[in-house]
Amino acid sequence: MKTIIAASSNAHKIKEIQAIMSKFRMQVVSRDEAGVPAFEIEEDGETFEENSLKKASEIMKITGQITIADDSGLMVDYLGGAPGVYSARFAGEECDDTKNNNKLLTLLKGLSPKEKTAKFVSVITLMFPDGTAIVARGECKGRIIDTPTGENGFGYDPLFVPDGYDKTFAQLSEDEKNAISHRAKALEKLEILLREREGFNEGNC
Amino acid sequence: MKTIIAASSNAHKIKEIQAIMSKFRMQVVSRDEAGVPAFEIEEDGETFEENSLKKASEIMKITGQITIADDSGLMVDYLGGAPGVYSARFAGEECDDTKNNNKLLTLLKGLSPKEKTAKFVSVITLMFPDGTAIVARGECKGRIIDTPTGENGFGYDPLFVPDGYDKTFAQLSEDEKNAISHRAKALEKLEILLREREGFNEGNC
């Protein structure tokens, strides 16, 4: 079992990452559990890639261990890709999921279902102690509905119906979501890239 | 007088670039004038930098001459930076300035002036025949107003009032806009970087 430090302090994200990484005999430990002092990493990049790399890099420098970071968000076509990297703070610095969801609904009010296409994006970075990194991007396409529905997940999950489904991410079980989510797809790509990285799998997978 | 090929086919942008570059004894020639066959460069980057580099690179490869490209757009804080790189096609592929402006006004309807802060961003790339490039970013902060005002400029200019002014970009004269615009600021930075680039100025500036 290999230990990986999660750069995220978002318990939901860590849970999803752990659920998938455990298949590869990797144990994900949060930055708090790893003893990293609490501090805010400013996510000021213009892309998910920038933010993901920044988070992995800062935590890896502190711990000296393999670190995994996720930067993710919702891109709504009608809004030219917004909220994108601003997903978590769309309704301002003092916002929460409800405020963010309400703001999104206000902006999309009156549009037809066809006009409300969107995708969730996740960029996962696995950074090694030597500073090299594997970066994998996953996307999940779908659409935004008019009323928050479902109790699972987090963020914009109650408003997002993935293509091929008639339930929101928040109505799907954890296992169902982890089978199709943007984060799952990013982690699948990460696995492929990891297997290509010579030596990493020895005795692990 | 040095000739530079403009990667843009936007006459407004070329005019603004020429107005500023002429100070440095550089003549900007449009890609059409330079005999570049008409083709669409897909602006599919996630950042202005990506798109600007791509445009400069594609035209430089064809002409073999120094090429200047601009990628620019409007970033509205309330919209998490949208329309951003989608500024020109915010209202869809078949849109025009009026449709884009109307879409923006609809999204910002009912907000107070303080909530409608925004900035114009321009990223100018000057690419040399050896493939090296100088990339300079300029920003102009301001706010969005409720009614399109003014006849000059293009794009979102009739809706954008730069900080410190009570007129929109479209109400300012060319000279006034070129003194403070995002594109002017990017070109000023470009000039500094150019002067640092050994040998470029010989006999020109």
Structure confidence by residue, pLDDT tens digits, A170-193: 999 988 998 999 999 999 999 888
ipTM over the 0.90 cut-off: no
Cα gap A100→A103, rounded to integer Å: 5
pLDDT for residue A81: 94
When pLDDT is cut at 50, 70 and 90, the band that residue A1 belongs to is: confident
Residue A69 lies in a domain: yes
From the list A28, A32, A54, the residue with the least C-alpha distance to A41 is A54
Residue B143 lies in a domain: yes
Residue A71: CB partners within 8 Å, gap ≥ 6?
A43, A45, A48, A49, A51, A52, A55, A85, A122, A123
All residues of chain B having their beta carbon less than 8 Å from the beta carbon of residue A80 are 79, 82-87, 90
From the list B168, B14, B147, B155, the residue with the least C-alpha distance to B96 is B155
Q: Over range A24-43, report the average pLDDT.
A: 87
Contact call for B86 and A80, based on CB within 8 A: yes
As a 3-state breakdown, chain A gives helix, strand, coil percent values, each rounded to 5, of: 40, 25, 40
Cα gap B174→B160, rounded to integer Å: 15
Structure confidence by residue, pLDDT tens digits, A121-178: 999 999 999 999 999 999 999 999 999 999 998 999 999 999 999 999 999 998 899 8
Residue B157 lies in a domain: yes
Of all residues in chain A, what percent carry a pLDDT higher than 70? 96
For residue A84, the chain B residue with the least C-alpha distance is B80
Cα gap B27→B1, rounded to integer Å: 6
CB atoms within 10 A of CB B166: 7
The answer to whether residue A205 scores a pLDDT higher than 70 is no
Known active-site residue B71: yes
pLDDT for residue B203: 46
Pick the residue of B43, B107, B108, B119 with the most A CBs within 10 A to test the interface with A by mutation: B107
Residue A164 lies in a domain: yes
Evaluate whether A30 touches A36 at the Cβ level (below 8 Å). no
Contact call for A80 and B85, based on CB within 8 A: yes
pLDDT for residue B204: 45
CB-closest option in B46, B81, B87 to A86: B81
Residue A147 lies in a domain: yes
pLDDT for residue A198: 57
Q: Over range A76-92, report the average pLDDT.
A: 94
Domain with B141, as residue range(s), is 2-196
Contact call for A81 and B79, based on CB within 8 A: no
Residue A201 lies in a domain: no
Residue B40 lies in a domain: yes
Q: Over range A71-89, report the average pLDDT.
A: 95
Evaluate whether A15 touches A40 at the Cβ level (below 8 Å). no
Q: How far is A80 from chain B (nearest CA, A)?
A: 5
Q: How many domains does chain A have?
A: 1
Evaluate whether A75 touches A123 at the Cβ level (below 8 Å). no
What is the domain-level CATH number for residue B158?
Answer: 3.90.950.10
Residue A203 lies in a domain: no
Contact call for A82 and B79, based on CB within 8 A: yes
Q: Which residues of chain B have pLDDT under 70?
A: 198-205
CB atoms within 10 A of CB B61: 12
pLDDT for residue B195: 79
pLDDT for residue B77: 96
DSSP annotation of B149? -
pLDDT for residue B104: 97
From the list B169, B128, B125, the residue with the least C-alpha distance to B145 is B169
All residues of chain B having their beta carbon less than 8 Å from the beta carbon of residue A46 are 46-47, 81
CB atoms within 10 A of CB B39: 9
Among chain A, residues having any CB pair with chain B shorter than 8 Å are 46-47, 79-87, 90, 107
What's the burial of B5, exposed, middle or buried (CB within 10 Å: 0-12/13-18/19+)? buried
